[in-house]
Amino acid sequence: MEFAYLGPRGTFTEAALRRLPAAKGAAAVPLPSIPEILDAVRRGEVDAGFVPIENSQEGTVTLTVDELVGGDPLVIAGEVVLPVTFVLASAKAPAAIATVASHPHAIAQVRGFLRRELPNAVVHQALSTAQAAQRVADGEFDACVCAPFTAEAAGLPVQAFDIGDSSGAETRFVHVVRPTAPPEPSGNDITSLVVSIDHDRVGALLAVLTELAIRGINLTRIESRPTGEGLGRYAFFLDCTGHLADPRMGEALTGLRRICADVRYLGSYPRDHSDRPVPPPAGLGDTDFADAAAWLDRLRGGGAA
C-alpha cells in the first residue's frame, strides 16, 4: 500500500502521516505538489494521498480544497490534526546566531520571538521549513524556524522550544482516496461536502444551513469558493458533524440534493479532535429519529398513533 504525501521529507506533513492509523505499514511517497498527489490517486498510481487542508504553515490549502471541489471525484477517508509548534533549530547558541531561515508563514508566526530574542539576526526566506533546515545543516544559515520533527529529521539541535507568538495553532491533514464507501461510524465523525448554489447567496445559503440545522447537524467549517463558472454561482465547502450512515445525515443530504445546483459528497471519517462529539439538540437524537419513523409507519397503517 502506497501513500503519496506532500514532500519534502521531514516536514509537518510527514509527521502527521505517521499518526494516521490507516497509514501504518504503508509506503510513504513524497511528491512535490498537492495537485500531483491527488492526480496520482485519481490515476491509481498510489492507493491514497495525504495533504494539508486547513491552516497549514507549509503551503496553501486552497489547492487542496479546489482539487477536491473540481476534477474527478475523490473522497476523504480520514484526517489528522497536528498541533503546530515551532522551535529554533541550530547548532549554535542563540547569542551566536546571525542568520535565521524559514518559510514566510513560519517566520510570520514567530515574529515576536525573533524581535525579542534575536533582534539583530538577519531573516531569510526559504521554500519550506524543511528546505530551511537543510540549508542550516549545510551551513548556509545559522538557524532555522521549523517543527520539532523537522529539526530532528535534519539532525539539528533545538535551542528554543515552542516559540510561536500564539499557542493553539493546528494544521489539519486529510487522507484522500478514490470514491468508496466510508469507514464505519466511529461516534464522532465529520462529513465533508461541497454545495453549489446559483444566484442569491444569502437566501440560498440560509436554505442550506436550514437543511442541516433542522436535523441537528452542526458545522465545524464553512468556506465560500469561487467556482470559476462565471458570475452568480457559488460553492461552499462544508465540514459537518455526523456520518453518511446516520439517518439524520442521510435525510439532510437528500434535502441538500433537492435544493442545491450541485452537491459533492467528499467523505465521512473519524474526527481527530479532543472535542467530545457535539450531542444533538433535544429531540434530534438517534432514538428520536427512530421513534418518529416508527410513528409514521403506524399512521400509514391506519393506527391512531
Residues 188-247 that bind its own copies (CB under 8 A): 200-203, 205-207, 209-214, 217-224, 226, 228, 230-231, 236, 244-245
Least separation in angstroms between residue 5's CB and its own copies is 16
Q: CA 159 → CA 86, 130, 149, 153, 230, distances in Å? A: 11, 17, 14, 15, 51
Q: Which is nearer to its own copies, 23 or 194 (CB)?
A: 194
Segment 109 to 168, residues that bind its own copies, using CB under 8 A: 111, 125-127, 166, 168
- Between the CA atoms of 16, 24, 154 and 273, what dihedral angle is there, to the nearest 10 degrees? 20
What is the Cα–Cα distance from 252 to 256, expressed in whole angstroms?
6
Q: How many residues does the chain have?
A: 305
CB of 9 to its own copies, least distance (A): 16
- Report the candidate in 25, 89, 78, 82 with the shortest Cα–Cα distance to residue 49: 78
Residues 11 and 275: their CA atoms lie apart, in Å, by 26
Contact by Cβ (8 Å): 243, 164: no
Report in angstroms how near the CB of residue 157 gets to its own copies at its nearest: 26
One DSSP character per residue, 68-81 reads HHSSS--EEEEEEE
- Total residues contacting its own copies by CB under 8 A comes to 80
Which residue, 139 or 301, has its beta carbon nearer to its own copies? 301
Asked if residues 243 and 249 have their Cβ atoms less than 8 Å apart, the reply is yes
What CA–CA distance (Å, rounded) separates 257 from 262?
7
Binding to its own copies in span 27-86, by CB under 8 A: 32-35, 55, 59-60, 62-63, 73
- Rounded to an integer, what is the distance from CA 22 to the centroid of its chain? 16
Instruction: Return the number of the residue (30 or 159) whose C-beta is nearest its own copies.
Output: 30
Shortest distance in whole angstroms from residue 243 CB to its own copies: 10
Residue from 27, 98, 108, 122 in contact with its own copies (CB under 8 A):
108
Contact between 186 and its own copies by CB under 8 A: the answer reads no
Q: Which CB sits closer to its own copies, 142 or 239?
A: 239
DSSP state of 238: E
Q: For its own copies, which is the closer residue by CB, 96 or 305? A: 305
Q: Which letter does DSSP use for residue 218 in this model?
A: P
Distance of closest approach, residue 151 Cβ to its own copies, in angstroms: 22
Q: Is 255 in the site for its own copies (CB under 8 A)?
A: yes
93 in contact with its own copies (CB under 8 A): no
Grid cell for residue 113: 520571538
With contacts defined by CB under 8 A, name the span among 20-28, 81-89, 142-150, 283-291 that binds its own copies.
283-291
Residue 270 is a binding residue for its own copies (CB under 8 A): no
